[in-house]
């Protein structure tokens, strides 16, 4: 059995109209990609990013379309160069690792309290994590502010 594919242009009042199926097939755009392969733990900089052509119809909803969404992030796994990237391919770099002993800081008004705790989760900058107070073993929810320091967020 032979299959025949036809492409056609519709003329309306002397103007060419391309059917929607043909228009979508030719929908090219440029997306950010890595200029060279990177490993987990590497920090992505502006110099690591190039733009490559890609068909919008093949990218998917999780495709990264803006280089700003890559800068400062780290690959979750080794990534190849010159391939479109998804939001699940990169993460905020971990600044507090599970098991780390960190300073837990609570601030309100002019009062600051500090204690020590053991991280129960990994966390990147401004991500929340659970900490076990080393004195009381009480579990505290805090936000990672730097390597070795977490801030208890109060409303």
**Number of helices (H) and strands (E), helices first, in the chain?**
2, 13
- Specify the fold of 28-91: Type Iii Antifreeze Protein Isoform Hplc 12 (3.90.1210)
pLDDT in tens, the chain (155 residues): 344 444 444 444 555 444 444 444 446 789 999 999 999 989 999 999 999 999 888 888 899 999 999 999 999 999 999 999 999 999 999 999 999 999 999 999 889 999 999 999 999 999 999 999 999 999 999 999 999 999 998 76
Token pair 């391919």 in the structure block, residue: 89
- At 95, list the tokens: 């600044």
Domain range summary for the chain, segments of one domain joined by +: 28-91, 94-152
Compute how many other C-beta atoms are within 10 angstroms of the C-beta atom of residue 148: 13
- CATH for the 94-152 domain, from 3.40.50.300, 3.30.750.24, 2.30.30.760, 3.40.50.2300: 2.30.30.760
pTM, rounded to two decimals:
0.64
Going by their DSSP bridges, the two strands 101-108 and 111-119 should be labelled as: antiparallel
Cα–Cα distance measured from residue 152 to residue 56, given in angstroms and rounded to the nearest whole number: 42
H or E segment and range at residue 142: strand 139-146
């Amino acid at each position: 059995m032979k299959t025949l594919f036809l492409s056609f242009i519709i003329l309306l009042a002397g103007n060419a109209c391309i059917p929607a199926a043909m228009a979508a097939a030719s929908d090219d755009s440029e997306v950010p990609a890595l200029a060279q392969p990177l490993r987990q733990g590497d920090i992505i900089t502006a110099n690591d990013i190039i733009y490559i052509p890609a068909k919008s119809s093949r990218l998917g909803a999780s495709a990264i379309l803006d280089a700003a969404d890559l800068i400062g992030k780290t690959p979750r796994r080794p990534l190849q160069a010159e391939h479109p990237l998804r939001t699940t391919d990169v993460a905020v770099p971990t600044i507090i690792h599970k098991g780390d002993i960190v300073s837990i800081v609570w601030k309100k008004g002019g009062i600051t309290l500090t204690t020590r705790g053991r991280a129960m989760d990994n966390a990147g900058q401004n991500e929340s994590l659970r900490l076990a107070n080393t004195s009381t073993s009480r579990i505290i929810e805090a936000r990672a502010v730097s390597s070795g320091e977490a801030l208890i967020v109060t409303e």
